[in-house]
Amino acid sequence: MIRWERENSKLYMQSSDGESNYEEKIKFATYFADEISKGVLFEMADQIPSLAELIKFGSLLDFQDAAVGFLLRSKNLQLFPEDDYFLKSSMLGGSKNK
């Protein structure tokens, strides 16, 4: 369903057909979060589950800025300005979820 080739910096995702039900959304969010977390924190395996959980919730919230902001604050976390800039510049057309 989802695979990240870290060496090639490529993320492969199988597209779904039609409308997703809640089970499919949760499965996608879980697999997506696991792949991203393992790829980003491959040298810090003990941190992978925590990051995966945050990414999974963010995905289920469609990465809506205010919701993700609250999620981070609830975990006593924050995005640094350079992280926010990187994320927004990585998206096509900038952030649309304000």
Domains of the chain, by residue range, sit at 22-90
pTM as predicted:
0.77
Whether 4 contacts 11, CB under 8 Å? yes
Per cent of the chain over pLDDT 70 is 90
What is the mean pLDDT of the segment spanning 57-64?
92
| Interval 58-64 mean pLDDT | 92
Residue-wise pLDDT for 33-59, tens only, equals 999 999 889 999 999 999 999 999 999
Query: From CA 26, how far away is CA 95, in angstroms rounded?
Result: 23
For residue 26, which amino acid is it? I
